[in-house]
């Protein structure tokens, strides 16, 4: 029976990954900062990437579905022996590199440092690492973009976008990401590689939001306003403390295409993500 060590197993990608490992007969040791009940084949350790007791001495694979920079530091210092390491990063490594927002540039820098760290540690130990970079994640009602939009739209009965929100997006379902990590684990061609993992459909930002609103009950109205009016409304909402997280750089990106090539992932491990067909249950209702 193969044994996996999983960080972030309680997260939106981690949960379906644990299911896949279980269904395939793996034994799993998972780490969480909060207590969880063990299940057949699944043992939880309570701790974090700075300190956790009881780690196995050796496993067949380590999966990281949590913060990459923390994981890279843990991996560099750890004594757990594993020939295979698969870690999630983000396409933000490219998207936010040239951002006007210093905090976003810092995110991209941390992702770069994390990826480099994982590859260097793996090389030093004779292990094989693969980095997986999702685009915009949805599906478990826990993401910070579409679920957040759905929550605000339910509250307000409407959602406002600037008329130029036509930048292309590729929302990717959490189950497809878990499937990717699981499939890549056994493929030699993925050793030492980083893969973009976009969703199976490319569509304009406003269409993506419209599809989310259309499945909510009752469906909130999508209101598109001229860009200066949107900016003024956003400033007002921020001043009233009614909205956070939609920074100027994120708003400016609504008109930019964020499109990634899934071909390397398809070629190497059969990556075949689903089309964007949301349901209300994917956004926490």
CA distance linking residue 144 with residue 245, whole number of Å: 9
Q: How far is the CB of 220 from ligand NAP (least distance, A)?
A: 23
Decide whether 82 or 146 has the Cβ nearer to ligand NAP. Answer: 146
**Is-contact 209 159, C-beta < 8 A?**
yes
Decide whether 221 or 256 has the Cβ nearer to ligand NAP. Answer: 256
Which residue of the chain is nearest ligand NAP when measured via CB? 11
Q: How far is the CB of 223 from ligand NAP (least distance, A)?
A: 25
CA distance linking residue 213 with residue 283, whole number of Å: 10
Q: How far is the CB of 46 from ligand NAP (least distance, A)?
A: 9
Decide whether 12 or 130 has the Cβ nearer to ligand NAP. Answer: 12
Backbone angles phi, psi at 91, to 5 degrees: -70, -10
CA distance linking residue 158 with residue 184, whole number of Å: 41
Q: How far is the CB of 187 from ligand NAP (least distance, A)?
A: 20
CA distance linking residue 89 with residue 82, whole number of Å: 19
Residues that bind ligand NAP (CB under 6 A): 7-8, 10-14, 32-34, 48-49, 65-68, 70, 88-92, 134-137, 142
Residue 18: other Cβ atoms inside 10 A:
22
DSSP at 256: S
Decide whether 228 or 245 has the Cβ nearer to ligand NAP. Answer: 245
């Amino acid at each position: 029976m193969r044994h996996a060590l999983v960080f972030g197993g309680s997260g939106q990608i981690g949960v379906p990954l644990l299911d896949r490992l279980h269904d395939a007969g793996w034994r799993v040791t998972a780490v969480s900062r909060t207590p969880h009940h063990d299940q057949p084949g699944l043992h939880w350790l309570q701790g974090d990437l700075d300190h956790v007791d009881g780690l196995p001495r050796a496993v067949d694979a380590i999966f990281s579905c949590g913060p990459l920079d923390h994981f890279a530091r843990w991996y560099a210092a750890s004594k757990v022996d594993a020939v295979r390491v698969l870690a999630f990063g983000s396409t933000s490594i490219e998207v936010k590199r040239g951002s006007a927002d210093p905090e976003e540039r810092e995110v991209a820098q941390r992702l770069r440092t994390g990826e480099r760290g994982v590859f260097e540690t793996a090389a030093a130990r004779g292990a094989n690492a693969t980095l997986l970079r999702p685009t915009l994640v949805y599906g478990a009602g826990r993401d910070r973009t579409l679920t957040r939009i759905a929550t605000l739209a339910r509250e307000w009965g409407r959602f406002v976008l600037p008329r130029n929100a036509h930048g292309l997006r590729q929302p990717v379902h959490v189950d497809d990401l878990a499937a990717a990590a699981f499939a890549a684990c056994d493929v030699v061609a993925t050793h030492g590689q980083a893969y973009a993992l976009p969703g199976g459909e490319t569509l304009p930002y406003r269409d993506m939001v419209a599809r989310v609103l259309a499945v909510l009950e009752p469906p909130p109205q999508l209101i598109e306003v001229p860009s200066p009016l949107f900016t003024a409304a956003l400033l007002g909402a921020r001043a009233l403390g009614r909205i956070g997280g939609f920074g100027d750089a994120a708003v400016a990106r609504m008109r930019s295409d964020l499109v990634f090539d899934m071909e390397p992932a398809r070629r190497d491990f059969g990556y075949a993500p689903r089309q964007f067909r949301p349901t209300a249950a994917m956004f926490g209702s």
